[in-house]
Copies of this chain bind each other. A is one copy, B any other.
């Protein structure tokens, strides 16, 4: 246990290959000239010594560590764990390692991570956290640390941002609910300090405000969580027992609506249609299965990761906003209405 495994350094390789460390370094980085024969003997030496360049030393010398960080509110949140998977997949193929941190949407925690990451010469950061503010952005820019954001950036014009078409998605949800025969649709909307919450609400309002049955009391706020969805649904049904469609601002709240409706004796799908937003895996698990406006979560993670790496490597032409298409996944929670104008 004490015989400390031997780890070869570039000097060991140089000695064995009979050349200088400079030559090895040049060979490794494909910078500068190195003769064909020399190259071969270097290869042999590396092979024999099982040499692999030390990344920490490289990091110190070059201020590049091949590591990126992913700051998100909570990795145990279904949406973010899916995202994290995509980020890591892409990062790995490009030779990057991923560090992650849970901010719980608390600015303090986020700042603490940034501080740590700076001392570790991290190459870039992905922010999927909502507390990322102006001063953080400014500091990172000054430090020369590239970053990209999910959903929202501190200054929309000066950063790469990936999100999906929230307004359009909300409109699609409403249209689908109308298509299946709903004639009184409520919306449980998410926190208005989150762009997703806000945009989906706007999208909903725009789609329904011209309809005769619409009244603002069909709007009910909640917190993007299951329990919040349950409570909001209860409040809504108290005001409007005749609601026949609910569009929830995200899937978790939609699941809450499902539970509440079920508990109160409504038949979901037949009597009341429910549509969520996000497309998390769990929507396939509910009973009935949940109709949802699916964000391309994996694609978003892959894209944002690729953008960051491009930015790090200086091959990103320009910072801009990417708004990805969403997709309606119609399932059993929104069946076609039997009653009403249906003529069959």
Q: How many copies of this chain?
A: 2
A296 at the interface (CB under 8 A from B): no
Taking a contact as CB atoms under 8 Å apart, the answer to whether A76 and B65 are in contact is no
Supposing A119-B53, A255-B285, A287-B259 touch, asked if A85 and B74 sit within 8 A by C-beta, the answer is yes
**Residue among A78, A89, A97 with most chain B CB within 10 A:** A97
Among candidates B1, B57, B60, B282, residue contacting A282 with C-beta atoms closer than 8 Å: B282
Chain A residues 116-130 with CB under 8 Å of chain B are: 116, 118-121
Residue of B nearest to A122 (CB): B97
A202 at the interface (CB under 8 A from B): no
Residue of B nearest to A85 (CB): B76
Residue of B nearest to A284 (CB): B226
Taking a contact as CB atoms under 8 Å apart, the answer to whether B78 and A102 are in contact is no
Min Cβ gap A330→B in Å is 18
Min Cβ gap A80→B in Å is 8
A44 at the interface (CB under 8 A from B): no
Taking a contact as CB atoms under 8 Å apart, the answer to whether A65 and B74 are in contact is no
Chain B contacts for A5, CB-based, 8 A: 142-144
A107 at the interface (CB under 8 A from B): no
Taking a contact as CB atoms under 8 Å apart, the answer to whether B76 and A81 are in contact is yes
A316 at the interface (CB under 8 A from B): no
Given A54-B60, A56-B65, A89-B102; 12 other pairs, CB 8 A cutoff: A52-B119, A54-B121, A59-B60, A60-B60, A67-B120, A74-B85, A75-B81, A77-B81, A81-B81, A88-B101, A98-B99, A259-B285
25 example contacts (A-B, Cβ-Cβ < 8 A) are as follows A5-B142, A52-B118, A54-B60, A54-B119, A55-B121, A56-B120, A57-B60, A59-B60, A75-B81, A75-B84, A75-B85, A84-B100, A88-B101, A88-B102, A92-B101, A97-B99, A97-B120, A98-B100, A226-B285, A255-B285, A259-B285, A262-B287, A282-B282, A282-B285, A287-B287
Residues of A within 8 A of B (CB): 1, 4-5, 7, 52-57, 59-60, 65, 67, 74-78, 80-82, 84-85, 88-89, 92, 97-102, 115-116, 118-121, 141-144, 226, 255, 258-259, 262, 281-282, 284-287
